[in-house]
Structure 1
Amino acid sequence: MIDYNHPAISQLIENKGWRALDTATALREAYNFVRDDILFGYNSDDTLPASQVLKDGYGQCNTKGTLLMALLRSLAIQCRFHGFTIYNALQRGAIPDYIMPLAPKKILHSWIEVKLEGRWLNLEGFIIDTPFLEQVQRAHPGTRIFSGYGISVACLQNPPNIFTGSDTYIQAQGIADDLGVFNDPDSFFSRYGSNTRGLKHIAYRWLIRHLINRHVDKVRRTGVDN
């Protein structure tokens, strides 16, 4: 999954000039790229290789994390995968109400941990792109504790999703179970499987996710319907 030697990954890094940057700056630039250039959306599967996520141009926690890990490993920045489950209720709003009953109560979730200056940092704030987040913020002015639209934070108007050399979060308040640290997402998904299986996965891949993505795009473009 972390195909960091793929030509598309290498070409992106060369085009951006990230190899010429110091470690902290390269990390920040890669993080910001995954957060905002790869839009929040739902891919066909949690186990896509990083190069496919880059090609898709959108992703969620697990797929965007795979891409970020590939970028970091190509830049020789040490990183690892931390798996969880989260309560699916935090997806309400991003997932339309008529689809929510099809989703399990808990879904697989992850963030990336990166070693910088001898410390392991938790990176989760890359999941939600800034234009989508800003639309949710506009719809809920003055709100602090918030759960919905793929966001679960203690302060919606000032979430800790900007990388400044410390941990970033955007869904962590909704974590249900800690499933441990893994060297790569392949190891995690080989143990825990995927969020959808069987006929439900077929329906998700070919129909449901497209309906969700259409709704997410509408929120990003026109705002939250009140």
Structure 2
Amino acid sequence: MNPADPHLAKTQLLDFDATSIAKLIEERGWADLPSDDRIGAIYDFVRNEITFGYNRADDIPASEVLADGHGQCKTKGTLLMALLRGVGVRCRLHGFTIHKALQRGVVPELVYPLAPSEILHSWVEVDLGDGWVNLEGFILDAPFLQTLQQKFRETDSLCGYGVGTECLSAPPVTWSGNDTYIQKTGIVRDLGTFNAPDDFYSKHRQNFGFVRDLLYRHVIRHWMNARVRRIRRGILPPVPGFDRPNHRHEETNRAA
């Protein structure tokens, strides 16, 4: 491992030298796997053993995400990057914004109007030697995604409940050495690539405002996590007017 390589470096958020992360890497034996299997094993861990959910903030270190046991695109991405760098896999962050409609159904209807129209989003890119591969399909764990596939089995286009895809029945979320996506169709703006999440957050912050940020940290995210747990159990919170699951996707495209 080359410590001078910015795509392998430890940072404040990518704290792969933390005891919990180093112990996990050792116990799983990831560093001993061939490169492709190494990426796949870590990807699968972050996708399914770190469940979909909302942490106290986006800019928390990987060790805190691991301790929480859940995360969303940005926090799970931080953990994924830390684990990958901890076994010598070069990676970087690609930042975006997504339309808030993608979160409808997870965000309670009472507070949905308070959400900003664009929400910060990111995925992880890994260097396979002959090019970068985009990894976004790790965001939703399998039980959560399976509930949505069952409830919306008559459509393949969905923008809501944490999903933005045109192939809901078989989205590209499994590691196969190629790009993986689950929220791609909700993208509004491309913010470019960054060596680490620390660099991303130094330039881009989700501007909720003081009061809304306080409400999110102490009330709303717990409410959202309760809804996520219900979805994982097969109980889908109803969304008024969501009889056509892709109608918000059409709104997203217009906004983009």
Name the CA distance, whole Å, in 2 between partners of 1:158 and 1:64. 22
Within a 5 Å distance, the mapping from 1:205-224 to structure 2 comes to 205-224=217-236
Report the structure number with the largest CA radius of gyration: 2
How far residue 202 of structure 1 moved from its aligned partner, in angstroms, is: 1.1
Q: Please tell me whether the aligned partners of residues 105 and 237 of structure 2 are also in contact (alpha carbons under 8 angstroms).
A: no
What is the Cα-based RMSD across aligned positions, in Å?
A: 1.0
How far residue 195 of structure 1 moved from its aligned partner, in angstroms, is: 4.8
Name the CA distance, whole Å, in 2 between partners of 1:223 and 1:103. 23
Task: Give the TM-score of the pair, scaled to structure 2.
Answer: 0.86
**1:29 is aligned with what amino acid?**
A
**2:72 is aligned with what amino acid?**
Q
**Do structure 1's residue 128 and structure 2's residue 116 form an aligned pair?**
no
How far residue 196 of structure 1 moved from its aligned partner, in angstroms, is: 3.1
Please name the residue that 2:67 is paired with.
55
For these two proteins, the number of residue pairs brought into alignment is 226
> Of the candidates 33, 36, 44, which is equivalent to residue 45 of structure 2?
33
What secondary structure, in the 3-state scheme, does the structure 2 residue paired with 1:85 have? strand
Q: Please tell me whether the aligned partners of residues 227 and 237 of structure 2 are also in contact (alpha carbons under 8 angstroms).
A: no
Name the CA distance, whole Å, in 2 between partners of 1:57 and 1:69. 16
How far residue 56 of structure 1 moved from its aligned partner, in angstroms, is: 0.3
What secondary structure, in the 3-state scheme, does the structure 1 residue paired with 2:93 have? strand
Change (3 A) 1:36 1:195: farther
Name the CA distance, whole Å, in 1 between partners of 2:125 and 2:237. 35
How far residue 222 of structure 1 moved from its aligned partner, in angstroms, is: 3.1
Q: Which runs of 5+ in 1 are unaligned?
A: none
Which runs of 4 or more aligned residues in structure 1 lie more than 6 Å from their structure 2 counterparts after TM superposition? none
Task: Give the TM-score of the pair, scaled to structure 1.
Answer: 0.97
Name the CA distance, whole Å, in 2 between partners of 1:32 and 1:98. 34
Q: Please tell me whether the aligned partners of residues 136 and 223 of structure 1 are also in contact (alpha carbons under 8 angstroms).
A: no
Within a 5 Å distance, the mapping from 1:135-154 to structure 2 comes to 135-154=147-166
> Of the candidates 105, 123, 131, which is equivalent to residue 93 of structure 1?
105
Identity %: 49
**1:221 is aligned with what amino acid?**
R
What secondary structure, in the 3-state scheme, does the structure 2 residue paired with 1:86 have? strand
Q: Which runs of 5+ in 2 are unaligned?
A: 1-12, 239-256
